[in-house]
Structure 1
Amino acid sequence: MNTSTSKNSISPYIRFTREEWSDLRTITPLTLTEEDLENLQGINERLSFDEVSDIYLPLSRLLNLYVQATQELYNATNTFLGKHAEKVPYIIGIAGSVAVGKSTTARILQALLSRWPNHPKVDLVTTDGFLFPNAILEQRGIMKRKGFPESYDIKRLIRFLSDVKSGSRKVMAPVYSHLSYDILTDQMQVIEQPDILIVEGLNVLQIPKDEQLRPAPRVFVSDFFDFSIYVDADEKNISNWYIERFKVLRETAFKNPKSYFHRYASLTDEQAVNTAKEIWQEINAVNLQYNILPTRFRADLILEKGLKHRVQKVMLRKL
């Protein structure tokens, strides 16, 4: 196998060009229909069948092999113990910037992985549900830092993941509304021992910056992951995608009077672009540079995107 890594360089990753990665698909069939793909892609992210076939099918094949190996270890443990242990889901974490397309990646993988016969039950949870309610963010004066590490109820998220990894039969996750831009107090997502759980969020690979000052051992969200993915792209591209998404939302979701962002629905094209740029520069770019991007090399696999959300390179951590 020829990879783009120089023979003289040392890296914890094996690097693949798009073509090299695509070849690893082997005979894995594409099980998604055109209608499936239409329902799975993002607001301004139009994925082609080639993208799914070249990038996500090989990834689903790799993850299937990993899950299968984990299931075999589970069976070996049962044999050793002489009894049936509680089923423990395989957890995949997906991180990346706002607007980079991590939610689409999560949905595509959920659809593909659920079509493999040995793990048909695949659930998806976003960490948006573990944000503190707006009332608490306003009380603490961090409403403009929503999405930053301090805006999440990390203790609740870790409790949730701990219960899932402990084999609890039913675990509840809070639900977030992008319409009201807040937690829904009357709804919960029920997780009942899936074969695979995908956890998608901005800071799921985060380790507090002051960790070196804390002598006591701590538990992090990523400690519960069996495999982690970072969706990456040049910041200029992500910024452009964010602005384009903002313009689309102005014509769709923002027009709903119940939308938290309804005030943006009447903006002109120029005003919408300027507003989106300002939000990006003051909030999302800061979060990306100081909190999200530094976690990139903690991932087991990195998807590097180019223009139009097309993955150009894949980096897989060596075992």
Structure 2
Amino acid sequence: MITTPKWVGVAALALVAAITLAGCSTATPSTGSTPGAKPSGAITVYNAQHEELTQAWADEFTKQTGVTVTLRNGDDSELGNQLVQEGNASPADVFLTENSPAMSLVDNAKLFAPVDAATLAQVPEAYRPSSGHWTGIAARSTVFVYNPSMLSESQLPASLLDLADAKWKGRWAASPSGADFQAIVSALLALKGEKATSAWLASMKENATAYKGNSAVMKAVNAGEIPAGVIYHYYWFGDQSGTGENSDNTKLHYFKNSDPGAFVSTSGGGVLKTAKNPVAAQAFLKFITGKTGQTILQTGSSFEYPVASDVAANKALVPLVDLDAPVLDPSKLDSRKVTDLMTAAGLL
């Protein structure tokens, strides 16, 4: 405590105050983590990623740090909208998704704290937004699953846009209500614009058969109910690693050529500004994008792509570099506009 004599004037008091404040100038804002601080306590994660994968991450993180991780599981849109509604009152420390539009939704509401620089350094620029308010943690590729007894290779579409042609009426399927497919449409919107996207969605309404979920689409193609469908790659690889009963009659077609159908969706992770335990929250995000976290992803059952710390994909997968995906800033994918356009087209 600084004791000031009664005769000291206002100017001297100001000088004492300035010296005192200068001594406190290294304080860290409450919205960030303290560099070098050891994580402890507990965090709450709003998890829209695969539950098994995130549980494996949480278990290993707890083993290494002692931090207790509570998961609240849901889907991208559900949890993203919940965070926006909760605002500063949210109990969440961390948000994880399967697709990036939900991350942009929360980021646009200015609810994320900046990601620690050491974490961002682990992730290539292609798999994190320009804002630096969240980061990629995994990725998944768009694919065209087809039944070779109903479609030959020569009949496969060269582009996702080809599915708007009348010859595809009743010959392909998707899950328009799911966040996965809506993320694919957000890429189409970013690459081709609103007019082209609206026209494509109108044709989709005429041509495509709607199912609930990518697994249902793949099962329908496998059963010969419909020749083909648009899904993410990992549904097929996951089924093939097991019994194969829902995929043995199918093959995958990759559009490549920077086509909208070659879109690679970035799964995201971010720390909330209002995190009760920002040190542990930032440490958790650094852990899952680090070598150990990405190796858990590589060797696990989700069959998603690692995107950080130079960890290669599962050997069963087509390497990311060979997918020839379009280059997109994941923070620019507009989920609200996509929902509006799909609703206008009668798909939602």
In proportion to residue count, which structure has more strand? 1
Does TM-score exceed 0.5, indicating one fold?
no
TM range (shorter): under 0.3
TM-score when normalising by structure 2: 0.24
TM-score when normalising by structure 1: 0.26
Larger radius of gyration: 2
